[in-house]
A and B are shown apart, each in its own frame.
Chain A
Amino acid sequence: MIYYDKVSKIYPDNSVALENVTFTIEPKEFVSIVGHSGAGKTTLLKLLLAEDRPTEGKVFFGSVDIHSLRPNEVPHYRRKIGVVFQDFRLLPDKNVYENIAFSMEAAGRSDEEVESDVPHVLELVDLTSKIWSFPNELSGGEKQRVAIARAIVNQPNIVIADEPTGNLDPVNTYDIVQILKKINDLGTTVILATHNKGVIDSLERRVITLEHGKIVRDDKEGRYII
């Protein structure tokens, strides 16, 4: 379903972020990408989001070469992917409801869908009581749950989580990982970039290990070994 074909990314200052990376992610898989800071995890995800172009090689989503999409096709493609970041990236002047509704509106969903789906997805992340709160009134774990709700509300094929637990304490980290597992169980592909050993070891799912822009391990039910 997702296929990286001999992908290299060299930045203009000649630093090599990815070098000849090839792998496949099947539908409904839960894949963790691990590695030290600077190993190329974020670059790998940016290429999938069409935020950046590979220097060499191709990235396929289904049969589509992502980087051959025309600029006006990219927004439609992105609606198939939900993204969660370490720093949450909620809009500070919108409350929880609006933050999620905004994502649905941008994707062109009708007002009726917005009204019925937002409470539903907040239920899924157990945050119904905070529906009218603004981001600065929420804890880190709550913010991340809003971000996850926003990422999944459009029922994407893939959820990408880039260090989603990086700013969270162990209890919240556990909660977030459980939510991601639940999303995966409901049939969504999850790609999780992290360097949290505890998270990886408790997941017992596929692990791709990056080092200096190369894949050094790719294990089914892997552990965090660097």
Chain B
Amino acid sequence: MSTWVNIKRILRTGFFSFSRNAFVSLSSIVVMVITLSTIGSLIFLSAILNNTLTEVRGKVDINVYFITAAPEDDILAVQKRLETLPEVASATYTSREQALQEFRERHENDQVTLQALEELGDNPLDASLNIKAKSPSQYEGIAAFLQESPLLSRDGVSIVDKVDYFQNKEAIERLTRIIDSAERLGSMITVVLVAVSVLITFNTIRLAIFISREEIAVMRLVGASSSYVRGPFVVVGLLYGAVAGILAILLFYPVTYWLGGVTENFFVGMNVFDYYTKNFGQIFAILIGSGAAIGALSSWLAVRKYLKI
């Protein structure tokens, strides 16, 4: 007999038992929807985490304030030198006039402060360089460079008023550590959750197959080969996974829509609904694929117990 006839029969038997055992199918699918929702939530969570980390990293920086008497050429020389460092992503110069302008804009509703500024007559603000590193761990090196560089003094007198790194140092280091452990913890939680949900699914399918043990016994007695007995169960497991995958991805539509606004406010500019719609194809493939794989593998393993001769 041709393999094709065999495959056809296995598929047919699989589809039949899927539809005839509606209740067993339903409960298995519900469990798998939960499993796949866990996996889906982890996709969203890691996207949110990554986005937040990128945003927060972008906000870490060093500001070097120069004394008011520092000549602009000297500051620009420092900027040029900094930009040649491999650790530095950008070094932005803010002149005293710009600083004053920004200060005025920031306090445009605060008459008292503006009045005080007027009374000073002179511009009290320092020119500054805003330095961004490529990674948070590199700020230490940049700060050290700033301390030792001969460009930062003129005639033996330092032209630097203050470097706020030394004030932020503690905070920056702590943030770096938090980011690192968040990433490590995230991947650990992912592994554990996926393992737990796979086990639950496996157990559910095992129960579903336990109901069919009589059928398996009869199949074996009439001389069905192991793969012929196993085939339909693997097909059913595959169907469970695929249907559960479709249900899970549909479920994420209203959930992410509802959470979209909330997350945007809470996690610096990350809207999960946008993420869902932009990455729909990828999420769809991951959920259906892992659902089908978990279902088929669970069935394959669960039937094995009944195939021992």
**Residue in contact with A111 in the complex, picked from B5, B20, B221, B224, CB distance below 8 Å:** B5
**Residue in contact with B222 in the complex, picked from A71, A77, A150, CB distance below 8 Å:** A150
- The yes or no answer to B57 lying at the interface (CB within 8 A) is no
- Taking the closest CB of chain A, its distance from the CB of B3, in whole angstroms, is 10
A220 to B46, CA, bound (A): 80
Determine if A106 and B228 form an interchain contact, defined as CB atoms under 8 angstroms apart: yes
Closest B residue to A103 by beta carbon equals: B222
- Taking the closest CB of chain B, its distance from the CB of A46, in whole angstroms, is 11
- The yes or no answer to B6 lying at the interface (CB within 8 A) is yes
- The yes or no answer to A63 lying at the interface (CB within 8 A) is no
Determine if A109 and B1 form an interchain contact, defined as CB atoms under 8 angstroms apart: yes
Docked complex: A110-127 residues within 8 A CB-CB of B: 110-111
Closest B residue to A107 by beta carbon equals: B223
Determine if B1 and A75 form an interchain contact, defined as CB atoms under 8 angstroms apart: no
Q: Spot the interface stretch: B174-182, B196-204, B212-220.
A: B212-220
Contact with B along A73-93 (1 / 0, CB 8 A): 011111100010000010101
**Residue in contact with A75 in the complex, picked from B5, B9, B215, B224, CB distance below 8 Å:** B224
Determine if B309 and A71 form an interchain contact, defined as CB atoms under 8 angstroms apart: yes
**Residue in contact with A106 in the complex, picked from B20, B21, B224, CB distance below 8 Å:** B224
Contact with A along B4-24 (1 / 0, CB 8 A): 011001000000010011000
- Taking the closest CB of chain A, its distance from the CB of B20, in whole angstroms, is 5
- Take A105-B9, A109-B1 as given contacts and tell me if A75 and B218 are in contact as well, using a CB distance cutoff of 8 Å: no
- The yes or no answer to B225 lying at the interface (CB within 8 A) is yes
- Taking the closest CB of chain A, its distance from the CB of B220, in whole angstroms, is 7
- The yes or no answer to A49 lying at the interface (CB within 8 A) is yes
Determine if B218 and A107 form an interchain contact, defined as CB atoms under 8 angstroms apart: no
Determine if B226 and A78 form an interchain contact, defined as CB atoms under 8 angstroms apart: no
Q: Which residues of A contact B218 (CB under 8 A)?
A: 89, 91
Contact with B along A45-82 (1 / 0, CB 8 A): 00001110000000000000000000110111111000
Determine if B20 and A75 form an interchain contact, defined as CB atoms under 8 angstroms apart: no
Determine if B20 and A93 form an interchain contact, defined as CB atoms under 8 angstroms apart: yes
- Taking the closest CB of chain A, its distance from the CB of B230, in whole angstroms, is 12
**Residue in contact with A107 in the complex, picked from B20, B21, B222, CB distance below 8 Å:** B222
A111 to B8, CA, bound (A): 11
Determine if B225 and A75 form an interchain contact, defined as CB atoms under 8 angstroms apart: yes
Determine if A76 and B5 form an interchain contact, defined as CB atoms under 8 angstroms apart: no
Interface range for A: 20 to 34
Q: Which residues of A contact B223 (CB under 8 A)?
A: 75-79, 106-107, 154
Closest B residue to A100 by beta carbon equals: B222
Closest B residue to A90 by beta carbon equals: B218
- The yes or no answer to A38 lying at the interface (CB within 8 A) is no
A123 to B223, CA, bound (A): 24
- Take A83-B221, A93-B20, A110-B5 as given contacts and tell me if A75 and B214 are in contact as well, using a CB distance cutoff of 8 Å: no
Docked complex: A127-167 residues within 8 A CB-CB of B: 150, 154
Determine if B1 and A78 form an interchain contact, defined as CB atoms under 8 angstroms apart: no
A93 to B220, CA, bound (A): 17
**Residue in contact with A49 in the complex, picked from B221, B224, B225, B228, CB distance below 8 Å:** B221
- The yes or no answer to A27 lying at the interface (CB within 8 A) is no
Determine if B214 and A72 form an interchain contact, defined as CB atoms under 8 angstroms apart: no
Q: Which residues of A contact B309 (CB under 8 A)?
A: 50-51, 71, 74
Determine if A75 and B226 form an interchain contact, defined as CB atoms under 8 angstroms apart: yes
- Taking the closest CB of chain A, its distance from the CB of B5, in whole angstroms, is 7
- The yes or no answer to A108 lying at the interface (CB within 8 A) is yes
**Residue in contact with A72 in the complex, picked from B1, B9, B215, B225, CB distance below 8 Å:** B225
Closest A residue to B9 by beta carbon equals: A105
A79 to B5, CA, bound (A): 18
Determine if A78 and B6 form an interchain contact, defined as CB atoms under 8 angstroms apart: no
Max count, chain A CB within 10 A of own CB: residue among B21, B223, B225: B223
Q: Which residues of B contact A89 (CB under 8 A)?
A: 214, 217-218, 221
Q: Which residues of A contact B5 (CB under 8 A)?
A: 110-111
Q: Which residues of B contact A109 (CB under 8 A)?
A: 1
Q: A77-B223, A89-B221 are in contact. List 17 more A-B contacts (CB 8 A).
A: A49-B221, A75-B220, A75-B224, A75-B225, A75-B226, A78-B223, A83-B221, A83-B222, A91-B218, A93-B21, A102-B219, A106-B223, A106-B228, A107-B224, A108-B6, A109-B1, A150-B222
A-B contact pairs, 22 of them (CB 8 A): A72-B225, A72-B226, A74-B309, A75-B224, A76-B225, A78-B223, A89-B217, A89-B218, A91-B215, A93-B21, A102-B219, A103-B222, A106-B219, A106-B223, A107-B222, A107-B224, A108-B6, A109-B1, A110-B1, A110-B5, A150-B222, A154-B222
